Each structure stands twice: as C-alpha cells, then as structure tokens.
Amino acid sequence: MFESEIKSLRRLGVRKILLQLLAMGSSLAPMFVLWKGLGLLTNTESPVVVVLSGSMEPAFRRGDILFLTNPPNKPYRNGDITVYNVPGQNIPIFHRVVETHNEIEVQDGDQDGEEPLVKQRILTKGDNNPVDDIGLYRGLEWIERRHVIGKVRGFVPYVGYISIAINEFPRLRLLVFGGTALMALV
C-alpha cells in the first residue's frame, strides 16, 4: 500500500526530505504565533478550549468550542462561566461562578494613587451537577484568581468533536497525523 511512497522518499534523498520538513515546519509556525498572539490579546494561556463533559448542559454540550478572555482588572461575578485548573490536575474545568469573596490586601508602603490589591476567592458549580465543586478543588476551599484560565465569551457548537475523536481513538489520530505528514512529504 505505502511501498510506492517509501520508494519515492528514498529517491528524494536526505537533503530534499529535510527541505520538505523545513517547509512543513514553516507552515506550522504561523499557527503557533497566531495561538500565542491570541493568548496575549485575551490575557489567557488558552484562548480556545473544547468541552469534554456534560457538566454544563444545557448551556454547553460535549464537543462545543469555547472562546475565553481573562480581563486582568475585572473581578469575576456570580453567573460568570469560568475555566480553571486545579493544582496537580492538567484538565481544565469550566463551571459557573456561584459565590465570590473579595478581600482587599493592604501592602506596606502603599502610596496615594495606587490601587489596592484585591484577592478574589471563587466557588463554582456545573449547571448539570447537584453540588458545588469543592470536591474537585483537591483540598482547597476556594478557587483563587490565579487558578482561573479565563471567562467564556463565546462558543461554536459541536466543532470540537473532531478534537475529542482524535484523542479518544488512537488509530484515528495515527491516520490523521500520519496522513498529513505523508502528504506534506510527498
């Protein structure tokens, strides 16, 4: 099946294969720059995420793509839908804010004109869950602002199923990435 492609790769030689790989890398670089630029613009490390569970149904369903922002000087309010990471867990959780507490921190040497630091603590809950998220916080009583990745600003329904399918079915992942790499080389 792939014998003719392998023979054509051997005929190309090492130098041409390296040039093909360089061309493929240069076509991927703008996507990386776009992702990082979008992250800087929205003040979040992950400006786009895919919904992986049904905990927020009916507002969002599995496979929806969410667009996030993280305004630096605006506190989160009850009803906001946030995406957060709990320390020690690398899967983001997105749930609705159900309670907030703001504490003003007074620093030594505060001068007139400087805004005091506001420390915000947040309690969240999935719309489709019977209880709040304290059990997900891994020993924390509240989520702090530093745990929040962003606030949901918009979404596109169902498009994220492509990402879910690629992650859940290893053969499909191999087929998609292997086929893409083979097409780029040939």
Catalytic residue (choose from 8, 26, 27, 55): 55
Q: Is residue 101 among the annotated active site residues?
A: no
Which two three-digit tokens encode residue 112?
Answer: 């007139």
Task: Give yes or no: 95 in active site.
Answer: yes
Tokens of 97: 């804010």
**Burial annotation 17-41 (CB, 10 A radius, 16+ → b, else e):** eeebeeeeeeeeeeeeeeeeeebee
Interhelix angle 161-168/170-185, nearest 10 degrees: 100
Residue of 26, 46, 133, 163 marked active site: 133
Backbone φ, ψ for residue 176 (5° rounding): -70, -55
Tokens of 43: 């003040």
The active-site residue out of 26, 27, 95, 108 is 95
**Cα–Cα distance, 57 to 67 (Å, whole number):** 17
Rg, Å, the chain Cα set: 22
46 is known as an active-site residue: no
Catalytic residues: 55, 95, 133
